[in-house]
Amino acid sequence: MNIVIRHERPEDYHLVEEITREAFWNLYGPGCNEHLIIHNLRRHADFIPELSFVIELDGKIAGSIFYSHSKVINNHGIEHKTITFGPVSILPALQRKGLGRALIVHSIEEAKKLGYTAIIIGGYPYHYKPYGFIGSKKYGIAMPDGNYYTGIMALPLYQGAFDSVSGTIFFSECMETDESQLEAFDKAFPEKEKAVQPSQAEFELAISEIDDSDYN
């Protein structure tokens, strides 16, 4: 099994979007919007191309990871720059083979080399705790509604990165998509049936879970 991690090239764009669509289809809701998120992100000021990669398995693209700028704003309006990864996509047939882990580990190491301070993400804790992520509540970093959620996690990229940093996390506006734009964008892809499945209810519960951990 020959694995290569490299930067995405323009000729990869549509294929990467197709793979992303396959990976997320009906996972968190009927259909998905992650392929449109990366399409919009590539042209946005928040895009971090030097940290966005594809992974090849035996010469064929199997998945990708994308990074964007995010920020924590404290009570005095002072911004602290952070970064965020997602979507992370692996073709369903190639999942559970360590490809997603390879992408995440590689990109985290690259982020350290480039001098970024911290990564803040949203996702399932059991997916990301093995990489060192912990609830953002530990650092006093809340969502805009003022709550701390178990699915919002942070990873300092060097010791003391979160010293004197607390406040509200703001992710890139590219993480949100317009339904009408999504409908039009989907016409460039093979037709797929939208469906309700158990993973969607599990996701809704996961993203609403309040973090009541004591990190002291």
CATH 3.40.50.300 assigned to domain 3-174? The reply is no
Instruction: Report the chain's mean pLDDT, rounded to a whole number.
Output: 95
State both tokens at 10. Answer: 């323009």
Distance CA 179, CA 185 (A): 10
Distance CA 166, CA 162 (A): 8
Domain ranges (residues) in the chain:
3-174
Residue 1, pLDDT score: 77
The per-residue b/e assignment along 88-99, b for 16 or more CB within 10 angstroms, e otherwise, is: bbbbeebeeeeb
State the average pLDDT over residues 109-121: 97
Residue 96, pLDDT score: 93
Its pTM stands at 0.95
State both tokens at 180. Answer: 């009408």
Query: Which stretches of the chain are DSSP H helices?
Result: 13-24, 34-41, 99-113, 125-128, 179-185, 198-208
Residue 206, pLDDT score: 84
